[in-house]
Amino acid sequence: MQYTAITLVKRPKIHITPDLFETVTLETPQLKDQQILLKQTHMSLDPAMKGWMTEDRNSYIPPVELGEIMRSSGVAEVVESRNDKFRVGDRVVGMIGWTEYAVSAGKGLQVLPPNVSAEAVLCVLSLPGLTAYQGLMEIGKAKAGETLVVSGAAGSVGSMVGQIAKAEGLRVIGTAGSDEKCRWLEDELGFDKAINYKSDDLAEQLRAATPDGVDLYFENTGGPVQHITYGRMNAHGRIIVCGMIADYNTDKPSPGPNWINMIRRRLTIQGFAMPDHWDNVPAMMEKLSVYLMDGKIKYRAHKLNGLESAIEGINLLFTGGNTGKLMVEL
Amino acid sequence: MQYTAITLVKRPKIHITPDLFETVTLETPQLKDQQILLKQTHMSLDPAMKGWMTEDRNSYIPPVELGEIMRSSGVAEVVESRNDKFRVGDRVVGMIGWTEYAVSAGKGLQVLPPNVSAEAVLCVLSLPGLTAYQGLMEIGKAKAGETLVVSGAAGSVGSMVGQIAKAEGLRVIGTAGSDEKCRWLEDELGFDKAINYKSDDLAEQLRAATPDGVDLYFENTGGPVQHITYGRMNAHGRIIVCGMIADYNTDKPSPGPNWINMIRRRLTIQGFAMPDHWDNVPAMMEKLSVYLMDGKIKYRAHKLNGLESAIEGINLLFTGGNTGKLMVEL
């Protein structure tokens, strides 16, 4: 049977452009012992992918090799199985890649319970939810009563961070790039305050929303929110650096804040990436499932259609054009 | 008996100027029960003092009140005692202030063993040594075999940091502001490499001295060393922010580095100040005494003479004009 996949053939310089990819037609092979054949139904698009396309000897994960199928996580159905652990009809989540079909020996795949939707999986029980929980709770050590500012709050990670924080009893202020997103954060997700970072009076709004200063800053974007929030950090404040999406698509990243405040307020800034924390995934999955079952976490998916929509569609993440967790329905 | 003291009467705007201080003549009082009279012999001048002169609700320690004697640590002799814990002739170290004599109830004072010089106390067994140990070992979690870069390496804290790191088996690169200081660091203190940060080829020199990257950066200065070293940090590197002396005397602190590297290399930057860590002082004093007895830590004092020399002399810390730990001999 023939199917379509997309390989990475060039590395991005600044922007992700269509010429980085090649659409190829492949043939499903005869399965060997222990192998399964997967038909992907939902494929996740995440900002981290830009890093996976880029070579950096110090990066947290090896880059996708040129000529290989582009890396991504997704939900798939088992359509053929020569492995006892997977039955035809099972749904799984894992790193499946930009492809309609994939052959796997099952490594790294998790079978999904039947009552959870593919959207809930990609929005909550995979990279976005895990990243949010790891950063906020394990690295940031968030405590009830503290004030959190989260940038990129309407994004896939930011929206999880804010909701987990609310569930844990924090006061939550989010920044996002449109009034519509801000309304969603306040009205649907229960943020204490959401601020459009494009407002002329951003600094005044952030100040007014944090009368007792800021204990935790969860950084997804960089840009002006970073500098203003940094200046409002309380003593012993923690800053968790998860994303710098405002700077991923420039060749001249903007400067950060001066470090004098690090001493005056005894701040900690910590960067992290999930591949360092896989050991913690099962425990976090359990916590996230509980939030989900208790109705404490809502999500919205922004769905594109068809494998090849990923090529242009991934840039929505960098323009802020997506409303909700970006994914491709196959 | 009359004595001289110096009070803080104005707060600094940018520079520390003589008009911030007033020299006053005081009279030693009759001692009350539990009190002792101290005659200060050596008074420490430290960069942190600038912070103590400044008001900031978030600072780690309340500022010196206007009209109060300027705060400082020092070594003194007990010349009169109505307290059983202190005998006339005892030498003590503690926060004594810019004064020739002081009355104390003994709180916060430590009696010194007779065989340790006042210089060794102020260079090693007080703020500089404690700060170095706390930052490098407790916060930075330095491990044998790692590569450390320390800025302001010839300063009172930096010279302790480098020597403790050498004693603990790290590879140590220091930066300082003159060739003479660099020679002292390499020839006397045993640094693996010392680099004059005023060199035209600072970046090349730092690169050549750290072929395996940098695991730990101990920041005392800010400035160009910060940006170059930040770019050379290895995965899971730690940056300890102890001082930013290059920026204390400007009204426009220079920007810091962009945070993308925080994620790519999963870095931690942590600011600290000793008053948060007093509980750890006795344990650290013990460790520092052992280094000292084993001849693993050398020091040099830069001595000024007479109380009033502090007023102009403190600025040597900000111009880099001192060679060794700055102190006033009374």
pLDDT tens track for A179-188: 999 999 999 9
Alpha-carbon gap, residue B46 to A226, rounded angstroms: 32
Q: Which of A154, A144, A157 is nearest to A174 (CA)?
A: A154
Q: Which residues of A touch B (CB under 8 A)?
A: 51, 56, 58-60, 213, 219, 222, 226, 234-235, 241-244, 247-248, 253-273, 276
Nearest CA in chain B to A275: B266
Q: Confirm if A317 and A46 have CB atoms less than 8 A apart.
A: yes
The answer to whether residue B287 is domain-embedded is no
| pLDDT range class, residue A198, cuts 50, 70, 90 | very high
Domain that holds residue B133: 127-275
**DSSP result, A164-193:** HHHHTT-EEEEEESSHHHHHIIIIIS--SE
Nearest CA in chain B to A212: B58
The answer to whether residue A284 is domain-embedded is no
Into how many domains does chain A fold? Answer: 2
Q: Both A137 and A118 in a single domain?
A: no
Domain boundary among A230, A260, A275: A275
The answer to whether residue A317 is domain-embedded is yes
pLDDT in tens, A106-139: 988 989 888 889 999 999 998 899 999 999 999 9
The answer to whether residue A291 is domain-embedded is no
Alpha-carbon gap, residue B256 to B265, rounded angstroms: 17
Mean pLDDT of A224-243: 97
Q: Both B228 and B192 in a single domain?
A: yes
| pLDDT range class, residue A58, cuts 50, 70, 90 | low
The answer to whether residue B170 is domain-embedded is yes
**Residue A272 token pair:** 């992290």
Residue contact A222–B257, C-beta within 8 A: no
Predicted local distance difference test score (pLDDT) of residue B291: 94
Alpha-carbon gap, residue A312 to B310, rounded angstroms: 66
- HEC per residue, chain B: CEEEEEEECCCCCCCCCHHHEEEEEEECCCCCCCCEEEEEEEEECCCHHHHHCCCCCCCCCCCCCCCCECCCEEEEEEEEECCCCCCCCCEEEEECCCECEEEECCCCCEECCCCCCHHHHHHCCCHHHHHHHHHHHHHCCCCCCCEEEECCCCCHHHHHHHHHHHHCCCEEEEEECCHHHHHHHHHHCCCCEEEECCCCCHHHHHHHHCCCCEEEEEECCCCHHHHHHHCCEEEEEEEEECCCHHHHCCCCCCCECCCHHHHHCCCEEEECCHHHHHHHHHHHHHHHHHHHHCCCCCCCEEEEECCCHHHHHCCHHHHCCCCCEEEEEC
Q: Both B119 and B142 in a single domain?
A: no
- Taking only the tens of pLDDT, chain B with its 330 residues reads 999 999 999 999 889 999 999 999 999 999 999 999 999 999 999 988 998 999 876 677 889 999 999 999 999 999 999 999 999 999 999 999 999 999 999 988 989 988 889 999 999 998 899 999 999 999 999 999 999 999 999 999 999 999 999 999 999 999 999 999 999 999 999 999 999 999 999 999 999 999 999 999 999 999 999 999 999 999 999 999 999 988 877 878 899 999 999 999 999 999 999 889 988 988 998 899 999 989 999 999 999 999 999 999 999 998 888 888 999 999
Residue contact A268–B270, C-beta within 8 A: yes
Q: Both B158 and B34 in a single domain?
A: no
Q: pTM to 2 decimals? A: 0.90
Query: Which member of A258, A264, A270 has the closest CB to residue B268?
Result: A270
Q: Both A132 and A120 in a single domain?
A: no
DSSP A197: T
Nearest CA in chain A to B253: A258
Q: Which CATH number belongs to the domain containing residue B90 in this structure?
A: 3.90.180.10
Predicted local distance difference test score (pLDDT) of residue A189: 96
Query: Can you tell me which residue has the tokens 């450390």?
Result: B148
Q: Both A96 and A156 in a single domain?
A: no
Interface confidence (ipTM) of the complex: 0.89
pLDDT in tens, A87-98: 999 999 999 999
Q: Both B270 and B145 in a single domain?
A: yes
Domain boundary among B259, B275, B291: B275
Helix (H, G, I), strand (E, B) or coil at A304: strand
Q: Which of B330, B322, B300 is nearest to B123 (CA)?
A: B300
Question: To 10 degrees, what angle do helices B156-167 and B281-293 make?
Answer: 70
Q: Both B13 and B105 in a single domain?
A: yes
Residue contact A243–B254, C-beta within 8 A: no
Helix (H, G, I), strand (E, B) or coil at A65: coil
Predicted local distance difference test score (pLDDT) of residue B58: 67
Q: Both B55 and B159 in a single domain?
A: no
